[in-house]
Structure 1
């Protein structure tokens, strides 16, 4: 009698399935409405902000050009992630093709780094405005914004390009269910039959190099700003100086707080539901995008007046 041999057959998969909130399926029902409203707010508010800055000649200044860049990045990140998540919530359309998945992975990594870098450049802008006000017009020019935009684009496009390439070169042989709402690098890579050590180290190294260095420079800029502000002796000078960078600092808190909580939940993943990091990852692509233009619109008088004039023309 011939002995039976156990033969493992590997079937190469052609697409992925995004499996959102497996352990907490009820989340999809109550999360779909607020997520939809946040998405509409993000797209609408950023569109109004971009139109206002474009039409108002008084807002054609480097600071507002950088804010326009931030709005564009927020809109791209929202459009890359949230519509697909909502389609999964509403219609259970979980399949995503290989090319769409790796494209989403690249855009998320690239544009998140670009957003972080834009915050860093905006922090430098506020540092020059408060610590070296007389030199501000000669340092922060339109040419400076162009050079900063080229640097932001080149740095992140080049350094994040290997992330989807490394993942796409892996051999996927059977499992195709991504335990996530989005095509996060490690969520996808762990489905392969190959060793993902290089993917993990590159993701970790690039992530901490880009986001870590940006956050360090941002908080260094604000430490220098705070030191300069505390030296001001004129009445009301401290309040005026802080108000000029208050909006920007609030935006950074939105960006970094959610990111920090996301990292901490990953570190303590044994103590929290695995669905919590997935939820935070989704919210990180929409909450800052929705709140950034609202904060600037409420706290910046020039933008508020520009929006009012725009709405008066429409109505």
Structure 2
């Protein structure tokens, strides 16, 4: 704060300036007076207030003084004193956030099925299982190679096969109109095709192991039982390496009785029914000879399949026991 003398000087100077006419004031005098006032009262809040009160009128000479001084006087930029930077604190370790426990969803309530719906569901599951079984069996079935026409009619039909359904009628008409010489010619071609087919088939069968052929025959037998048209689609594969199944005691008895010729006048179904009845009524001491032969054939079969199919003793025993 300024002393009392400085304050009094500033007040007088301001009052004198306000009383002085505008014409008697020169630019230099006004500026010097203003500079003296600023130097005497630099930064004082009281001086600013006094100057503001005396120069509020825009027509007064004091207001002109203030306008001129605002243009000439420039404030010096003040340097801001920055406080020294504080050292940064070490980052806090992130604490693993605990996961919020999600409320368990309520288990869906199983709908109670009616007896009819249960029966339909069982049938549907059974049909699905049957389809899966058939697909698995078809993967084991070995597709036979394509063969050449093995009859005279098939040789003639092969000439018209490219024409589609219309070629069937033409092939039939041509086959019926063949002369004896032409028929002999087509029969000769068919016989040659049979020999070629046998060679192709034998080579194809021998490209697989005996065990693969046996598995394929099992799958084919199962498909024949499952599908009505499976007997023609999946015939048994012929392989000379396959071990024939041993005959049972009943088959030995039926073969011996059928060879006698006593059942020629009967139908096969009637013959089988009668032989079954006679076998059940046969005494045990007479069945013994058939049982002994069947047991000997079974033991030879087990030894053979262990060599041909390369199975171990347990598998051979199971195969023989299943028969």
User: Which interval holds the TM-score relative to the shorter structure?
Assistant: under 0.3
Work out which structure has the larger RCO, using CA pairs closer than 8 Å and 6 or more positions apart in sequence: 1
Structure showing greater Rg: 2
| TM-score after normalising by structure 1 | 0.25
